[in-house]
Structure 1
Amino acid sequence: MENLEGKLAELFSSLSRTAERSRLYAMRAVKDGQPRLAKLFLALAESKARQAQRFLVQMRGAVGPTAENVRTAFGTELNADIDRYRDLLGEAERAGSKALATGFSHSIEVDRRTMELHERLGRETEDAAYYVCDFCGYIAVDEPPEHCPVCTAGRNRFKALDPRP
């Protein structure tokens, strides 16, 4: 079973990568004046994302109660990601890869701010709308900023979140 679990993890990674690359291909197809092809790339991206999600459920098992999910997402996982980004940031700097170093720095900042959003959610009673920067992942509350405070992307790079999963 251990070998199967390893293969599932590789498959999940491959499907996720294909989904994201297909989204990039769609953006390029639009830029190259091929909107019909862009739509097909987006359909492929969504298909691969759904396949990846299906196998992730098999790898991770059932989703627990919300309180447990909160501890996992905002406690364990975000902190582990920040630690990973810090390690990779150091490696990228030593390798002289400025673009990767910037990406890891942005990810650290995004995850820190996301943890702050969770803390804020516990103090506030008003419902909020969320907008995600499609370049760095920064989450804005109520309305997108003129420029992303993490990566400086313009307001047009923010996508409104649909509250339904």
Structure 2
Amino acid sequence: MHEMTAANLRSAFGGESMAHMRYKVWGAKAGAEGYPNVARLFVAIASAEQVHATGHFKAMKDVGGAFLVAAGGGFGLTATSENLAGAIQGENFEVAEMYPSYIAVAEDQDEKAAVRSCRYALEAEKLHAALYTRAKEAVDAGKDVELAAVQVCSVCGHTVEGDAPDACPICAAVKAKFTAFE
């Protein structure tokens, strides 16, 4: 694997791993503040971020030896509205800047596994940003977000509200590959 693609995957792995844990902690905080649906949303998206981190890790299977991973994202435990703002900012960065540039490099270097892993994450992050934005609007109005079951594809991390699709629109995984967060 080319070094620039490997470095990008290490960065993405670190960022997604950190997001996974940050969202789990923020989910507990939302629950404690009386927002059970926001808590459930954080936990569901934490699961999707774990899928992304795992995908990036697997895409580096040909990279031998040990390597350092640094996750440059900030972390703090504040009120749920502020935590949602941080989540939105992180998801929007991944959608607008991080994943498009990582995909471009991986395509240029013909690293198919890296392209696939980053595309899976990019598509899911778009949905995450929208779900978090809706949750923040509700919390800022003093309410919990109205939220049906959240389904997460265990193959690519695609996240959907409501019923799981018969086939994932991102990776074509069957309905049984979705995990429901109700």
Q: TM-score, normalised by structure 2?
A: 0.51
Alignment of 1:132-143 (within 5 A): 132-143=152-163
Residue in structure 2 matched with residue 128 of structure 1 by the alignment: 148
Q: Which has the higher contact order (CA 8 A, sep 6+)?
A: 2
Contact 2:106 2:115 in 1 (8 A): yes
Residue of structure 2 in register with 1:155 after alignment: 175
Counterpart in the other structure of 1:85: 99
Matched residues in 1 for 2:76 and 2:128: separation? 24
Q: Report the count of equivalent residues.
A: 109
1:63 lines up with 2:83 in the alignment: no
Q: What SS does the corresponding residue of 1:106 show, helix, strand or coil? A: helix
Q: Go from structure 1 to structure 2 and tell me whether the alpha carbon gap of 1:117 and 1:60 turns closer, same or farther (over 3 Å shift).
A: closer
**Structure number with larger C-alpha Rg:** 1
Q: Counterparts of 1:61 and 1:116 in 2: how far apart (Å)?
A: 21
Report the Cα offset of residue 97 of structure 1.
1.2
Partner of 1:51: none
Write the distance in 1 (CA, Å) between the matches of 2:118 and 2:162.
26
Give the direction of change, closer, same or farther, for the CA distance of 1:60–1:88 in structure 2 (3 Å limit): closer
Q: Secondary structure at the match of 2:85?
A: helix
2:93 & 2:75 partners in 1: Cα distance?
Answer: 20
Per the TM alignment, residue 148 of structure 1 is displaced from its structure 2 partner at its CA by 0.8
| Aligned counterparts of 2:100 and 2:152: Cα–Cα separation in 1 | 22
Q: Are the equivalent residues in 1 in contact too, given 2:151–2:159 (CA < 8 A)?
A: yes
Percent of pairs with identical residues? 26
- In the superposition, the TM-score normalised over structure 1's length comes to 0.55
- The Cα shift of 1:81 comes to 2.1
Gaps of 5+ in 2: 1-13, 18-49, 55-70, 139-143
The whole-number CA distance in structure 2 between the counterparts of 1:145 and 1:135 is: 14
> Which residue of the partner structure matches residue 31 of structure 1?
none
CA distance in 2, matches of 1:61, 1:86: 24
Once the two structures are TM-superposed, the CA of residue 158 in structure 1 deviates from its matched residue by: 0.4
CA shift for structure 1 position 80: 2.1
Task: Give the match's secondary structure for 1:63.
Answer: coil
Counterpart amino acid of residue 144 in structure 1: A
Do the aligned partners of 2:87 and 2:132 also contact (CA within 8 Å) in 1? no
Whole-Å separation in 2 of the counterparts to 1:81 and 1:156: 28
